[in-house]
Chain A
Amino acid sequence: MAVLARAPADDIAALLPALPAHDRLRAPETGLVMVRGRAGGDGAPFNLGEMTVTRCAVRLGDAVGHAYVAGRDKRQAELAALVDAALQDPAHHDALMAAVIAPLAARQQAVRDAEARRAAATRVEFFTMATMR
């Protein structure tokens, strides 16, 4: 779900093999999740503010797939729920992981790495000046 929650709908759709028809158990719906932080970073929880989240649940055969994804993309939520349902079938799990999740994860990791390397380029290298008297 972490990978699907960060993947644009078009990217998921492009990788998804044809799947049997599914029923919408809960049509895609956009709502809010109250994001909590902690005082001082590690103390008592407090309500920081809300974020938009879209959820969806589908039934695919016997499996029920759920998705909660940040943002308001209903198509992404439905595709994520569909993949979640399909992954529950042991016969398809490994193939789907390799065909859909792995490439999406690799793409996301590459973006993260590039950002982390940009950040690292702004890391300060201190050097000591001659002591002044």
Chain B
Amino acid sequence: MYVAVKGGGRAISAAHAWLDETRRGDPSLPELGVAQIEQQMGLAVDRVMAEGSCHDRFLAALAIKQSKGDLIEAAFLLRAYRTTLVRFGASDPIETAAMRLRRRISATYKDLPGGQVLGPTFDYTHRLLDFALAAEGAPREAAPEAGAPVGEVPRVTELLAREGLMQREVPDDAEPGDLTRQPLAFPAARPVRLQNLARGDEGFLLALGYSTQRGYGGNHPFVGEIRVGHVAVDFTPPELGFAIDIGDIAITECQMVNQFAGSRTEPAQFTRGYGLVFGHGERRAMGMALVDRALRAQELGEDVTAPAQDAEFVLYHSDNIEATGFVEHLKLPHYVDFQSELENLRTIRRSAMQDLAE
């Protein structure tokens, strides 16, 4: 039950003033600039862009500054801001095979065309705290450059598909459903599921992906390929009628290769789980790919037994903006409904006591 109450205006203003002060911290220290966050907290910026579902590094960095580093709050701010902007339309599908690569690895083939390119990765670091970083302004060595640059390389899944060992995707040009325009409905088609997962909470995707590896809907995945880099976005303005290149976005793509036992109509072959996210977000792309594959259970005739295979469970709970809204609303005054619960409980206890006395 909702009852409007008034009051608390002055307390709220004072609380917000204190929030501003704590955001700034000790004024004797230099203030953090948005450009510094954008450059030096790059992976936080990437996560906020992905979960805020809006590719704009500056806005994501500003949101991080405003939210004091609370990344869900920052994604919330970015989602709210995007609602104020007009949508010009939808891009042509991006061509990830033409990605300008910073990183590209495969766990399925050692020697593959284009090779294993590690890029700027935490992998193979020792996870020892580096106290040298605490000394600011230390000189930094430039990263080495090789003579021959990395060019375009073919997708690993394509290599398998050419041999008939990988299930082909159906290149369908139907207009995909859009969660920002139409509410989620079930059964949800794969494009809608992918949109939902691409903006889903990283922790949720990671935990669900992990659960599939531990046997809850397991499908024995291999990382066919992870690629991180930039792709050009082509957009066709209605007034021009032809596509123009409007710039680059940073993305991470993950192709999970999974076994499939085959069916009456299809021979045994590999199938894909797919992850595609804004920015450099390898963990999130891998989680997405695992969950995407788990959600294909029904389509591939597998038993639906685990949480990660249950589309309603996954898709209704993946969005951290929705989740935080509903969980955190419990903080708001519920005085009246609690009063009625209290009244109920007292009545029950009174009558129980009377019964006992009789």
Cβ-defined partner of A113 (8 Å) among B110, B118, B149, B237: B149
By beta carbon, the residue of chain A nearest B169 is A43
Stretch from B28-36, B83-91, B130-138, B209-217 forming part of the interface with A: B83-91
Cβ-defined partner of A33 (8 Å) among B58, B111, B172, B246: B246
Assembly CA distance A115 to B180 (angstroms): 35
Stretch from A13-21, A89-97, A117-125 forming part of the interface with B: A117-125
Cβ-defined partner of B54 (8 Å) among A42, A49, A120: A49
Neighbouring B residues of A45 by C-beta, 8 Å: 93, 172-174, 176, 191
Interface residues of A in 50-65 (CB under 8 A from B): 50-53, 55
Task: Report B142-172 CB contacts with A as 1/0, cut-off 8 Å.
Answer: 0111111111000101100000000001111
Cβ-defined partner of A66 (8 Å) among B120, B146, B173, B240: B240
Assembly CA distance A52 to B246 (angstroms): 10
Interface residues of A in 106-130 (CB under 8 A from B): 112-124, 126
- Say whether B191 contacts A70, CB under 8 Å: no
**Nearest CB on B from A23, distance (A):** 16
Count contacts on A: residues with CB < 8 A to the other chain. Answer: 50
Stretch from B100-108, B307-315, B333-341 forming part of the interface with A: B100-108
Cβ-defined partner of B85 (8 Å) among A30, A69, A112, A121: A30
**Nearest CB on A from B209, distance (A):** 17
Count contacts on B: residues with CB < 8 A to the other chain. Answer: 83
- Say whether A120 contacts B146, CB under 8 Å: yes
By beta carbon, the residue of chain B nearest A84 is B244
- Say whether A42 contacts B233, CB under 8 Å: no
Task: Report B58-86 CB contacts with A as 1/0, cut-off 8 Å.
Answer: 11000000000000000000000010011
Knowing A39-B274, A121-B146, the reply to whether A52 touches B172 (Cβ < 8 A) is: no
**Nearest CB on A from B221, distance (A):** 14
- Say whether B97 contacts A53, CB under 8 Å: no
- Say whether A70 contacts B169, CB under 8 Å: no
Assembly CA distance A102 to B278 (angstroms): 30
- Say whether B100 contacts A51, CB under 8 Å: no
**Nearest CB on A from B147, distance (A):** 7
- Say whether A39 contacts B247, CB under 8 Å: no
- Say whether A70 contacts B102, CB under 8 Å: no
Neighbouring B residues of A71 by C-beta, 8 Å: 56, 58, 247
- Say whether A123 contacts B146, CB under 8 Å: yes
- Say whether B103 contacts A119, CB under 8 Å: yes
- Say whether B101 contacts A119, CB under 8 Å: yes
The yes or no answer to B245 lying at the interface (CB within 8 A) is yes
Assembly CA distance A72 to B90 (angstroms): 17
Neighbouring A residues of B176 by C-beta, 8 Å: 36, 44-47
The yes or no answer to A5 lying at the interface (CB within 8 A) is yes
Assembly CA distance A25 to B246 (angstroms): 20
- Say whether B272 contacts A32, CB under 8 Å: no
Cβ-defined partner of B117 (8 Å) among A5, A33, A113, A120: A120
- Say whether A40 contacts B274, CB under 8 Å: yes
Assembly CA distance A68 to B274 (angstroms): 30
Assembly CA distance A118 to B96 (angstroms): 20
- Say whether B169 contacts A32, CB under 8 Å: no
Neighbouring B residues of A35 by C-beta, 8 Å: 55, 90-91, 94, 233, 249
Cβ-defined partner of B144 (8 Å) among A37, A46, A50, A118: A118
The yes or no answer to B219 lying at the interface (CB within 8 A) is no
Neighbouring A residues of B245 by C-beta, 8 Å: 1-2, 5
- Say whether B97 contacts A31, CB under 8 Å: no
The yes or no answer to A22 lying at the interface (CB within 8 A) is no
Task: Report B173-184 CB contacts with A as 1/0, cut-off 8 Å.
Answer: 110111110000
Q: Enumerate 9 A-B pairs (CB-CB under 8 Å) in ascending A order.
A: A32-B82, A33-B91, A37-B94, A42-B97, A47-B177, A50-B55, A71-B58, A122-B117, A122-B120
The chain A residues found within 8 Å of chain B, CB to CB, are 1-2, 5-6, 29-53, 55, 66, 68-72, 112-124, 126
